[in-house]
Structure 1
Amino acid sequence: MIYDESDRFNPRDPYLTASKLSKSDKRSAARQLATQALYQRHISGASLNEIEAQFCVDNDFTYADQNYFHDILYGVHTNLTKIDTALAPCLDLHIKRLDPVELCVMRLSTWELLYCIDVPYRVIINEGIELAKVYGSTDSHKFVNGVLNNMATRLRKAEFKERKR
């Protein structure tokens, strides 16, 4: 299948109705909003409650899984030390030197790799790449791809072994 940019989920599509969205579409939208919220938290240092309340007022969660958004936001915050510890060996520079957008995308994806075992690692990597393409700098998706592939081989060993069979 040839990937076409028009195939991407676009919540502003006038022909899109909530009933046409799959669970994965709603989770993709939640990841987009969570990336923005994590970035806002990283830059502003505002409380999670304030950020979540603002996002709930400013965004239409008809198209996004609000519970998954909440889980990501609080899951990344609660497990930040474990996430950064898992990320560190996969990076060739210190976490503090990373671009904030790339860092937020990789933290979100690492949280999913660690705690969302029901989501295949390939989906998590693909979603991270797409988030980096949308919100990151020109080639940040390549960096994110490399780090997340490395991370997935470390955190999802059983899934990798099963896939190779």
Structure 2
Amino acid sequence: MYHQTRRNARKYIIQALYTWEISKNNILDIKNQYLKKMNKKIVDIKYFHELMTKVINNHEKLDQKIKKCLHIKMQKIGQIEKAILRLSFYELYNRKDIPYKVSINESIELAKLFGSNNSYKFINGVLQNAKDNIKNIKT
């Protein structure tokens, strides 16, 4: 159940990050909008709060790390893919309690759910590049 509540939190995080990227509305308003939709029994609310805050507050640093693993310009990446990569890079670099394989798999599943047909392949490739560059990654 614990893993499912995290997975559900990630789904809402991606939607909220996408909303923020498109609208640039106040992050608290966006968080509250999504919190109203959530069934608190099946979503890890604490995880949602933490990652929304951390990813938004560190999006420029995360984007710099993402750019180092890309073969295309950041501007050419779709907004959903950008949201997934930001979440993934935050987890890979900052959440050592989450094995990198779990983070990468979750990101691929998010890309299959929210992205275009081949988004998951793109996300997987970028995250494999990132994994090779991150020291002390927990396996």
What TM-score comes out, normalization by structure 1 length? 0.81
Match of residue 99, structure 1, among 58, 78, 95: 78
Match of residue 124, structure 1, among 100, 103, 107: 103
Residue type of the alignment partner of 1:66: I
C-alpha distance in 2, partners of 1:141/1:101? 11
Residue of structure 2 equivalent to 1:141: 120
Say whether residues 1:57 and 2:32 are aligned partners. Answer: no
Q: State the 1:129 CA deviation.
A: 0.2
Say whether residues 1:82 and 2:61 are aligned partners. Answer: yes
Listed one character per residue, the Cα deviations across residues 84-110 of structure 1 (whole Å, up to 9, x for unaligned) are 111111111111221111110011000
Listed one character per residue, the Cα deviations across residues 3-24 of structure 1 (whole Å, up to 9, x for unaligned) are xxxxxxxxxxxxxxxxxx2x21
* Higher relative contact order, chain-length normalized (CA < 8 Å, sep 6+): 2
Residue of structure 1 equivalent to 2:136: 158
In the alignment of these two chains, the number of paired residues is: 139
C-alpha distance in 2, partners of 1:52/1:81? 20
C-alpha distance in 2, partners of 1:36/1:29? 11
Q: State the 1:82 CA deviation.
A: 1.4
Listed one character per residue, the Cα deviations across residues 16-65 of structure 1 (whole Å, up to 9, x for unaligned) are xxxxx2x2111111001100000000111111100111111122121010
Residue type of the alignment partner of 1:44: S
Say whether residues 1:46 and 2:25 are aligned partners. Answer: yes
Give structure 2 stretches of 5+ with no counterpart.
none
Residue type of the alignment partner of 1:110: F
CA RMSD of aligned residues (A): 1.2
C-alpha distance in 1, partners of 2:58/2:39? 27
Residue type of the alignment partner of 1:111: Y
Residue of structure 1 equivalent to 2:10: 31
Give structure 1 stretches of 5+ with no counterpart.
1-20
SS in 1 for 2:42: coil
Larger radius of gyration: 1
What TM-score comes out, normalization by structure 2 length? 0.95
Match of residue 50, structure 2, among 71, 75, 89: 71
Identity of aligned residues (%): 36
